[in-house]
Amino acid sequence: MAIIEQLTQDFLRTKKLPHIWCPGCGNGIVTAALVRAIERADYDQRDVVIVSGIGCSSRAAGYLNFNTLHTTHGRALAFATGLKMARPELKLFVIMGDGDCSAIGGNHFIHSARRNIDLNAIVVNNHIYGMTGGQHSPLTPIGKKATTAPRGTLEREFNLLELARGAGATFGARGNAAQPRQLEQLITRGAKHKGFSIVEALSPCPIAYGRRNKLGGPVDMMKDLKENSISTERAAGKEDSELEGKTITGVIFNYEEPEYAAEYYHSIGKEIPVKSSG
Ligand code: SF4
């Protein structure tokens, strides 16, 4: 059986398909990269939990054949934290959209990073609230239009990875839907990291964001994503002026610090479970 068919059969709830995503949306590509990364990490399927909030990308939890938690808007990291503390042996991947993670869930995000709890956040950044009506999020670039910013937003966007780093996250990487193999590798590296990891996945939303901002169709948006990205290796040594308008992809930071669940179990004199009881 071809690899793709095997992955589909093993890791997707095919009865839940077809998915709800619009033609040209990047959510499916990011979801596929996550599936391949989990396969690559060689985890037992029963030990993997996908946690998501609310939004287009968060619908992925319904399609994935692992333990899944589809939670409330902005609260995915809070649910995941509770689960990780109770069952630290589990491998948790938390899928969030840009608004879900950095606005409604912003407080959970900075404190998850601060604790350095061993969760793997995958933030699908399409610069807009897609499902709830095209409102601007803290990751909508300044000047871009949204239903809540018809003349263009006046607010500067967060640099999500720098926000995470400043709050205490120990692994941060950025990829995009136009370069899915790199994205898969970054998610795998984040999964293997001990502590709070975040992978920002830039992804096109041609419907709620692209149309309103006249960015062309899905192919144009994909092309732009690819052409405007530069890897950390290629960016090294370049002047700021040469990087103007470019988005750096790859591992942006990677540190070692004590992990919260392990520290907690140690503080109460218990061994942290490392293997699932099944
Ligand atoms: S609204 Fe945007 S993000 Fe949501 S499914 Fe459609 S293209 Fe994707």
Tokens found for residue 227: 């052409």
Burial of 39 (0-12, 13-18, 19+ CB in 10 A): middle
Strands, E, within the chain: which ranges? Answer: 48-52, 67-70, 91-97, 120-125, 171-176, 197-202, 229-231, 247-254
Query: Residue 83 Cα, ligand 1 centroid: separation in angstroms?
Result: 29
* Domain membership flag for residue 216: yes
* Domain membership flag for residue 8: no
* Domain membership flag for residue 111: yes
Q: Which atom of ligand 1 is nearest to the CA of 22?
A: 6
Please tell me the residue having the least CA distance from ligand 1 atom 8. 25
User: What CATH code is carried by the domain that includes residue 126?
Assistant: 3.40.50.970
Residue 229: CB within 6 Å of ligand 1?
no
* Domain membership flag for residue 277: no
pTM of the predicted protein model: 0.96
* Domain membership flag for residue 173: yes
* Domain membership flag for residue 263: no
pLDDT score of 274: 81
Query: Residue 260 Cα, ligand 1 centroid: separation in angstroms?
Result: 35
Query: Residue 40 Cα, ligand 1 centroid: separation in angstroms?
Result: 28
- Side chain identity, residue 38: I
Cα distance between residue 212 and residue 183, in whole Å: 27
**197-202, strands of its sheet edge to edge:** 67-70, 48-52, 91-97, 120-125, 197-202, 171-176, 247-254, 229-231
* Domain membership flag for residue 11: no
Q: What is the DSSP string of 196-226?
A: -EEEEEE---IIIIITTTT--SHHHHHHHHH
Q: Residue 114: give the domain boundaries.
A: 26-234+245-256
Domain count, the chain: 1
Residue 126: CB within 6 Å of ligand 1?
yes
- pLDDT per position in the chain (278 positions), as tens? 677 788 888 899 999 999 999 999 999 999 999 999 999 999 999 999 999 999 999 999 999 999 999 999 999 999 999 999 999 999 999 999 999 999 999 999 999 999 999 999 999 999 999 999 999 999 999 999 999 999 999 999 999 999 999 999 999 999 999 999 999 999 999 999 999 999 999 999 999 999 999 999 999 999 999 999 999 999 999 999 999 999 999 999 999 999 999 999 999 999 998 876 55
* Domain membership flag for residue 7: no
